[in-house]
Amino acid sequence: MKRHALHLSLGAAGIVALLAACAAQLAQHGADPAIRVGADDLGGVVTSARGPEAGVWVIAETQDLPTRFTKIVVTDERGRYVMPALPKANYEEWLNQLKTTGCMSCHAIGTKGMRTMPKDFAHMKSTEAWVRRIASGQAMTQMINVINRFDRDRVVADLADWTDRVAAGELPFVLDTNGNGKRDAYVEPKQPADPAKDTRIAANLYSVGFNPNDGSIWGTQLGFPGRVVRVAPGSDPTHTSLTEVFEPPFPGYGPRGGDIGRDGVYWASLASGHLGKFDRSQCKGPLNGPKATGKHCPEGWTLYRFPGPQFGNVRDDGSAEASYYTWVDQFNASAGEIRRGAIRRVTA
């Protein structure tokens, strides 16, 4: 078996940066007699200074075939891997430093079951409860192994702090759909509206910005049509914070990275090929109440088309040019000339 070119590639998600893997190597085939590697297989053992490495992604890739061909396997508990019966070609082998054994490789962490500490642990300190909790059930060995790869005490302290804050009422985004200007009991995102209650929304803020004029916090929510989110924390956020959401009007959609100016105007790169400007002070209708759920302020938006061409068979206004993120130069830090006229304003 010939030696294959070896690269270390960083996992995109980068949850577990396994520093020791820098020293990891692919041992040669046959290093472990238990692996039988045939003529059209690739196999071996991944080792580091600490010995065999379990759960490392090994990626074989070739451009020799009519389409790019990639095969990914994960090393077993003795660091071994085999890729059987590969089509004949020259392969490059990659080691991926992202171990598959981070918490999120098995389950999500933000779900209700996770963020609520069961009553059985009520007599313990939150940190102790977390340690006990992940030492439970069928997956306890894997969970303990994973947490021990981090700075364990620090992760446990963070998790405990998180569930403590949730238990104390720290809650996510609520629209004032009953329109009384206060945060009240609320219905869940998919439940029907209730005239007496507010409405919780499922939002995950990206590109968070702060409006120095009124203390509100802004961000984008990715997706279609996506929205810009404004949160006013109020004097006692757990009980007073209120959220507003603003969808870009068609033909604009899909906010990505955005930022706020010192004038409180929010700017966002839109997937539709526009730079979107949202000025809340231009809104004419009420900003709370049953209709204030996202489509209530198209007049606050201005769309500027990016200069690139539109896709050939798309008639809607927009551009194939993709901007991922827009920052506002709040303090005039960027020296030099701003080129004007490159982007064109369109009417929504």
Q: Tell me whether residue 112 or residue 339 sits nearer to ligand HEC (CB atom).
A: 112
56 binds ligand HEC (CB under 6 A): no
Q: Tell me whether residue 147 or residue 201 sits nearer to ligand HEC (CB atom).
A: 147
Q: How many residues bind ligand HEC (CB under 6 A)?
A: 17
Beta bridge partners of residue 209, listed in sequence order: 218
114 binds ligand HEC (CB under 6 A): yes
Report whether 309 contacts 320 (CB < 8 A).
yes
Give the tokens for residue 136: 């439970």
Let me know the angle formed at the C-alpha of 316 by 313 and 320, rounded to the nearest 5 degrees. 65
200 binds ligand HEC (CB under 6 A): no
Question: Could you give the CA distance from residue 157 to residue 169 in angstroms, rounded to a whole number?
Answer: 19
Compute how many other C-beta atoms are within 10 angstroms of the C-beta atom of residue 67: 6
Q: Least distance (Å) from ligand HEC to the CB of residue 113?
A: 5
Residue ranges of E strands in 75-115: 80-83, 92-96
Give the tokens for residue 101: 């054994």
Q: Least distance (Å) from ligand HEC to the CB of residue 143?
A: 4
Question: Cβ-closest residue to ligand HEC?
Answer: 137
Give the tokens for residue 325: 């993120």
Question: Could you give the CA distance from residue 36 to residue 210 in angstroms, rounded to a whole number?
Answer: 59
- Of 31, 24, 29, 28, the C-alpha closest to 54 is 24
131 binds ligand HEC (CB under 6 A): no
**Cis? peptide before 237, omega within 30° of 0:** no
Q: Tell me whether residue 118 or residue 189 sits nearer to ligand HEC (CB atom).
A: 118
Stretch that binds ligand HEC, among 26-34, 39-47, 143-151, 242-250 (CB under 6 A): 143-151
**Distances in Å between the alpha carbon of 179 and those of 143, 200, 294?**
45, 14, 14
Which residues within the stretch 217-276 sit at the binding site for ligand HEC (CB under 6 A)?
A: none
Which alpha helices (DSSP H) does the chain contain, by range? 112-115, 126-134, 140-149, 152-167, 237-240
Question: Could you give the CA distance from residue 287 to residue 265 in angstroms, rounded to a whole number?
Answer: 16
Q: Tell me whether residue 25 or residue 100 sits nearer to ligand HEC (CB atom).
A: 100
84-103 mask for ligand HEC (x: CB under 6 A)? -----------------x-x
Q: Tell me whether residue 15 or residue 346 sits nearer to ligand HEC (CB atom).
A: 15
Q: Least distance (Å) from ligand HEC to the CB of residue 81?
A: 18
Stretch that binds ligand HEC, among 41-49, 138-146, 217-225, 279-287 (CB under 6 A): 138-146
How many Cα atoms are found within 13 Å in the side-chain-facing hemisphere of 225?
17
Q: Tell me whether residue 58 or residue 103 sits nearer to ligand HEC (CB atom).
A: 103
Q: Least distance (Å) from ligand HEC to the CB of residue 117?
A: 8
Question: Could you give the CA distance from residue 294 to residue 199 in angstroms, rounded to a whole number?
Answer: 13
Question: Could you give the CA distance from residue 45 to residue 76 in angstroms, rounded to a whole number?
Answer: 9
Which residues within the stretch 147-166 sit at the binding site for ligand HEC (CB under 6 A)?
A: 147
139 binds ligand HEC (CB under 6 A): yes
Q: Least distance (Å) from ligand HEC to the CB of residue 98?
A: 13
146 binds ligand HEC (CB under 6 A): yes
113 binds ligand HEC (CB under 6 A): yes
**Which residues 6+ apart lie within 8 Å of 334 measured at CB?**
none
Q: Tell me whether residue 99 or residue 274 sits nearer to ligand HEC (CB atom).
A: 99
Binding residue (CB under 6 A) for ligand HEC from 107, 239, 291, 295: 107
The residue ranges that bind ligand HEC (CB under 6 A) are 101, 103, 105-107, 113-114, 118, 133-134, 137-139, 142-143, 146-147
